[in-house]
Structure 1
């Protein structure tokens, strides 16, 4: 049952971009996201004797999401970092991409419950299906579907309210 190095590399090639996309929308810091992706794979590799290749991707997702949750907790202890222009994606000429829209989305996402945020981000930015998200989060697939629907409705309401303000 020992994890093979080739399986870990294949998982990294499959998941690196989707993991980064989901983590970025939780942390809004590129460097933190890169660190967490790499840390997740290091932690999985350190436990390779106990890792089954069949569940490798779900384990990496769970590890990365837990690391992100810990990073957010750490930030709160050290005073929550406000979104600033340095943490936004840049255009080719170095300017922030749609600063106001990104800020509204960030604020709306922060108002969702953590479980709703995770499901929404995993479904929209990871390419995972409902049953895969259910496996990663350890909840029934039906719960994923209902929470996703509720999260999207709440996000629409929040984004509409921020557009009116």
Structure 2
């Protein structure tokens, strides 16, 4: 029985790894921190896997653990870095359209309040339903809808129109 549970969890973790890391990056983590966050969420999920795997939406549970872990980590860390107006381009060796698009999306998301970032990432990157997103964030479905609406309205279409431009 335990081998079945372990195999089931391993298959789940392997299949969702890239999605979890991508969501963590879009929630504001660096690539390394995103991998750490995804791993921490999966470690916490593993101890409750029997119950999680029987849930209607196990993904919602894992994403909730991830969002809660991120919130806890942000409260604990000191963010004494000084913001600068010009952020160095971390993608100097790779100028593909994918990197440019990723940068544009990440930059646009970081301009939004954290609650709006979370709802967009969970709805459109993690592909959770409104109900599952509400469960992950611990809010009402109506709150998910209003945050989504406000977030989409706040996005600047000009940020995405000329993705091949000179801007980093």
TM-score by length of 1: 0.70
Query: Which runs of structure 2 are paired with 1:76-95 in the superposition (5 Å)?
Result: 76-79=78-81, 83-86=87-90, 88=91, 94-95=93-94
C-alpha displacement of 1:109: 2.3
Unaligned runs of 5+ in 1: 161-165
Q: State whether residues 22 and 121 of structure 1, in contact with CA within 8 Å, keep that contact through their aligned partners in structure 2.
A: yes
Distance 1:52 1:128, change over 3 A: closer
How many residue pairs are counted as aligned between the two chains?
154
Q: Please, which runs of 5 or more residues in structure 2 have no aligned partner?
A: 161-168
The answer to whether structure 1 residue 121 and structure 2 residue 125 are counterparts is: no
- Name 2:163's counterpart in structure 1: none
Q: What's the Cα RMSD here?
A: 3.5
* Mapped contact 1:11–1:57 kept (Cα < 8 A): no
Structure 2 Cα separation of the partners of residues 80 and 158 of structure 1: 27
Distance 1:4 1:146, change over 3 A: same
Question: Secondary structure of the equivalent of 1:79?
Answer: coil
Compare the two structures and name the one with the higher helix fraction: 1
Partner residue in 2 for 1:39: 40
Give the number of the structure with larger relative contact order, counting CA–CA contacts within 8 Å between residues 6 or more apart.
2
Quick check: 1:18–1:127 contact (8 Å CA) kept in 2? no
- In the other structure, the counterpart of 1:69 is 71
| 6 and 75 in structure 1: CA distance in 2 versus 1, 3 angstrom threshold | same
Secondary structure at 1:85's aligned position in 2? coil
State how far apart, in whole Å, the 2-side matches of 1:101 and 1:10 are: 30
Aligned residue in 1 for 2:165: none
Q: Given that residues 20 and 34 in structure 1 are in contact (C-alpha distance below 8 angstroms), is that contact kept between their aligned partners in structure 2?
A: yes
